[in-house]
Structure 1
Amino acid sequence: MTLNLKICFCTDGDFWFTNLNVLFDKTRSLYEGAEIRYICTSNDQTLRFSLVAIGDYTACKRAAKDLLESLICNIKTSRYYIVDDLCKFLIPAHDVLNGIEKEFEYCDTIHGNYEGTFLHLAWV
């Protein structure tokens, strides 16, 4: 089976994540048994994350959970209400992974100043 996690943040310059180049390490031994493809791209106001995990169910799920946890732990902003908004956006996706053992799809978006921000998580 394959787990796909795609996230796009339209930041409007109001938030960012520290250590983008070390935010997720696809070579961790926790992911043994899964082929992990991870891409992070950014420009002035858009951050895109793509994780595709193929193989062992537990390893794939652990990789997606680790990326979501890293994003939550590395939010930086001078507008602290954004931290709450982003946690309310990311934590439900993390929670979905805790209880899933079959095919599923989860999507969410943020509107307002951050229009275009989305998260798509699918296990197929």
Structure 2
Amino acid sequence: MEHEEQIAIADYELPFDLHSDMPLWEINANCRMVLELEGTPVGNEMKAIQQKWFSSFEEFIDHKDEIRYYDVGDGAALAEYLICEENVFGEIPHELQKHIDYHSYGSELEMDDRYLFTTSGVFGYQ
């Protein structure tokens, strides 16, 4: 058996927990994942996303590609995007779209656990 050197990390600021038995290669792999996400909307809100939907950093990493980012500021804007651009209710004629209450539907979306509203935008995960 090879001799393993023990390393103690006393102070750190990482979006994942360190454990005393965690091998250095695993810490490095997690740090590489963090660096990959750095500067992206998901990376900027990593902590909030992880707290909302995932019980661990590893689970977050496993599902990060399933998280949708919407560059909108509030529920009404998300509602309008989902209805007009993604056709969540099917194709709605343009002349009817101006009669839709986006604020009301947006309020429902804000209470929906599938969406996370942040200062960076809105994230969706099903």
TM-score, normalised relative to structure 1: 0.23
More strand by share: 1
TM-score, normalised relative to structure 2: 0.23
The structure that has the greater radius of gyration is: 2
Which one has more relative contact order, counting CA pairs under 8 Å at least 6 apart? 1
More helix by share: 2
